[in-house]
A and B are shown apart, each in its own frame.
Chain A
Amino acid sequence: MKHISPNLVAADIPARPPTRRALAKQQTREKVLAAARRLFSEEGYEGATIRDIAAAAGMSTGAVFANFSDKSDLFREIMADDMESLRGAMRDAATRGRTLEDAVLKVFMAGYTFYKSRLQLARAAFSVSWDKDGGPTLRGLPSSVAFHEIFAEQMDAAVERGELGEEAEVKLRAQMLFDTYLSNFPQAIFEGWSLDALQSRSRDQIRIILAGARRS
C-alpha cells in the first residue's frame, strides 16, 4: 500500500499543486474508508465483506483492492486514524486534571466520550483484538502502546510531586488502568450506560488502583 497523499506531494514540491490523479486517488480512498467505517459498524468485522464495502462506496472491488491490500488493512487504517485522534484528546484531557486521580479520570472520560458515537466500531475492534489471528495486527498499532504512556506519565509526575510513593510500580499500574478503562466498554456497548454512570464507576475503580501507591 504505497500511497502518497496530496498534502505530502504539496509539501515536497511547494510550487506545484497536487496532480488531478493524486487528488482522485485520495478521494477514492476516503470514499472507501467512509463506506468501510459504516459497514464495520453495522455488520461487525466478520459480517462486512469487501464486496459490500465496494458497493457501498459505489465502486468495483478491484478499485478497493487497488488502494487496500485486504479487509484487515482497511480496518487497521480506520482504527489507526481513530487512535491518533483519541490519543490527542486524551493527552489534552490529562493536562486539565487537578490531581492524579482527576487526570486519570479525565483521560478515561475522553475515551468514553470519543467512542460514544461509534460504540459499534469499538465492539468490532474488541472482537478482532481477541481473535488469535486478528489480535496481534490491531494490538501492534503503535498508538495502542502509547495509551499506557499517557497514564504512566501522569503517575511519574505524581511521584515527582510526592503524591505517589517511589515504589508506585508505574508500568504495571498504567497497564491496569488501561485494562480497566477498556473493561467498562461492555457496559457502554451492551447496557447503554451513560457517560455519568461510566464516570462514577471509573472514579471508584481508579481510586482502588491508585490507593496502594499513595504516599502514606
Chain B
Amino acid sequence: MTTDAESPPAASPPARWSQKEATRQRVIDAARDLFDTHGYQGTTIREIARHAGVAVGSVFTTFASKGEILSEVMATRLAALCAEIGRLSPHIHGSTADRLRTMFAVHFEFEARQTRLFLAHVAAAYDWTLTPGAQPYGRNAHFQEVIKATLARGVAQGDVRSDADPQEVVDLLMAAYAWTWRLVITESADVKAMIAVMDRQIGLVAGGFTPKS
C-alpha cells in the first residue's frame, strides 16, 4: 500500500498497525507449520511465539487462544481453496453427483498437502480452551454455500429432487467428508484412497436426493 502526498502526516498508528500485521502474519506462518508437524495438542502458544520470533505477549495481543490462531490459519487457506474452486467451477460439468465429486476431490487434494494441519483443525472443534473468536471445522459457512449452489443447479437441471432439504444434504456430505479423513489415522490412507471412498459416499447420498423416475 502506498500513501500519496495528500495524506495526513505519517503518524504512529499506521506504522504500529503494519507492525502488528507483520507479527500476525509471522505467527500464522509459524503456527501453520507447527500444527502440521505436531498436531493440535502438541503445539503450544509458546512454541508458536518462539518460531515466529515474537514475544508470547504479542501473540496474545492479537489472538485470544491457540484455537483462534488455528482458525485464522485455516481461514487463510480456505480463501486460497475457494479461489481454486472458483477458477474450476465453470469447467465442471455432468451430473450433480459428479460435480460434487469433483469439488470434494479438489478439497482432499488441497488439504492433503498438509494432512496433519487438517486433522488438527477437526480436533480443535472439541478443544476445552476454545474461545468465542475461534471458528473450528464444521462451523464455516463458505464451502456449505458452494455445495448448496451446486444442489440448486441440480434442481434446475432436474437431477435433484426439489423437495430435498439442501441443509440436510450439506450436513451429510460434510460429515462424510470429515470422517473420511479418519482413514488417514486408522489406515494411513493416501489422498487417492480417500477420494475413492468419498466418491462412493456421494453416490449413496445422491441416491437419496435423485428424483424417483
**Chain A residues in the interface with B (C-beta under 8 A):** 43-44, 46-47, 123-124, 126-127, 129-136, 139, 169, 172-173, 176, 179-180, 182-183, 186, 189, 201, 204-205, 207-213, 216
Whether a CB of chain A sits under 8 angstroms from the CB of B16 is no
With A132-B39, A207-B208, A211-B208 in contact, do A179 and B179 touch (Cβ < 8 Å)?
yes
Whether A132 pairs with B126 at a CB distance below 8 angstroms is: no
Whether a CB of chain A sits under 8 angstroms from the CB of B17 is no
List chain B residues, Cβ under 8 A from A209: 172, 204-205, 208
Whether A139 pairs with B176 at a CB distance below 8 angstroms is: no
Residue of A nearest to B138 (CB): A186
Given A132-B119, A135-B185, 20 further pairs, Cβ under 8 A: A44-B128, A46-B128, A131-B40, A132-B39, A136-B185, A136-B186, A180-B175, A183-B174, A183-B179, A204-B165, A205-B171, A205-B172, A208-B172, A208-B208, A208-B209, A209-B172, A209-B204, A211-B207, A212-B203, A212-B208
The A interface is mostly helix, strand or loop, or mixed, namely: helix
List chain B residues, Cβ under 8 A from A135: 182, 185-186
> With the chains together, A105 CA to B98 CA distance in Å?
29
Whether A186 pairs with B125 at a CB distance below 8 angstroms is: yes
Whether a CB of chain A sits under 8 angstroms from the CB of B77 is no
Residue of B nearest to A136 (CB): B185
List chain A residues, Cβ under 8 A from B201: 172, 176
Whether B172 pairs with A130 at a CB distance below 8 angstroms is: no
List chain A residues, Cβ under 8 A from B174: 183
Whether B179 pairs with A172 at a CB distance below 8 angstroms is: no
> With the chains together, A88 CA to B175 CA distance in Å?
25
Of A136, A182, A183, A189, chain B has the most CB atoms within 10 Å of the CB of A183
Whether A204 pairs with B123 at a CB distance below 8 angstroms is: no
Whether a CB of chain A sits under 8 angstroms from the CB of B206 is yes
Of the A-B pairs whose beta carbons lie under 8 Å apart in the complex, a sample of 23, sorted by A's number, is A44-B127, A46-B41, A46-B128, A127-B123, A130-B185, A131-B39, A132-B119, A132-B184, A133-B42, A134-B41, A139-B186, A180-B172, A182-B179, A201-B168, A204-B168, A205-B168, A205-B172, A208-B164, A208-B168, A208-B172, A208-B205, A211-B207, A213-B207
Give chain B's interface residue range (CB within 8 Å of chain A): 35 or more
**Chain B residues in the interface with A (C-beta under 8 A):** 39-42, 116, 119, 122-123, 125-128, 138, 164-165, 168-169, 171-172, 174-176, 178-179, 182, 184-186, 197, 200-201, 203-210, 212
List chain A residues, Cβ under 8 A from B127: 44, 127
Residue of A nearest to B181 (CB): A130
Whether B172 pairs with A126 at a CB distance below 8 angstroms is: no
B129 to chain A, nearest CB (A): 8
B52 to chain A, nearest CB (A): 23
List chain A residues, Cβ under 8 A from B200: 169, 172
List chain A residues, Cβ under 8 A from B169: 208
List chain B residues, Cβ under 8 A from A210: 208
B119 to chain A, nearest CB (A): 6
> With the chains together, A183 CA to B172 CA distance in Å?
9
> With the chains together, A136 CA to B182 CA distance in Å?
10
Whether B204 pairs with A176 at a CB distance below 8 angstroms is: yes
List chain A residues, Cβ under 8 A from B122: 130
